Structure 1
Amino acid sequence: MGGLVEIAADQHGSAALRAYLARLAETVLPPAERASKAKAALNLWTGYNPTSGEEAALDNELDRRLAPVQRP
């Protein structure tokens, strides 16, 4: 990975390298942290802020809809 970082730094400078590393970090966040960030962004963007009960109901509905197409 060091080679890619060096190439990015040489070609685009340190600001682009920081942006690249930030994007790379987004891909390696644990699922719970990604979900938390997505929820915060959705709340900021739309004001949507479901209760834990509403989230559970939505999770159950999603599971129900996905069940017919999931592999065993």
Structure 2
Amino acid sequence: MPDVHVPIPAETRDRLTAAAAAEGLSLRAYLMRLAGDSARPARDGTRADRVRQALHAWNGYDPDPEEEARLDAELDRRIAEAAATG
């Protein structure tokens, strides 16, 4: 597959590079993974449902949408913090 060059601001490139490094990936591998993840939302819905049901059956954990949004925001904050210090 031939490479493609996409012009983006240097700040964006640096943030993506930091996020990739935080996960032990090259920028190329990180972007390929992101592209692959974005192609899967339709399949992941059923997988996510199965995981949620398994978690609930195992330990009763079943967050409501508000708690889930709060936890997602906390995870996003921690990822941004890790990327900024990396």
Structure with larger RCO (C-alpha < 8 A, sep 6+): 2
TM-score normalised over the length of structure 1: 0.49
Greater percentage in helix:
1
Q: Normalization by structure 2: what TM-score? A: 0.42
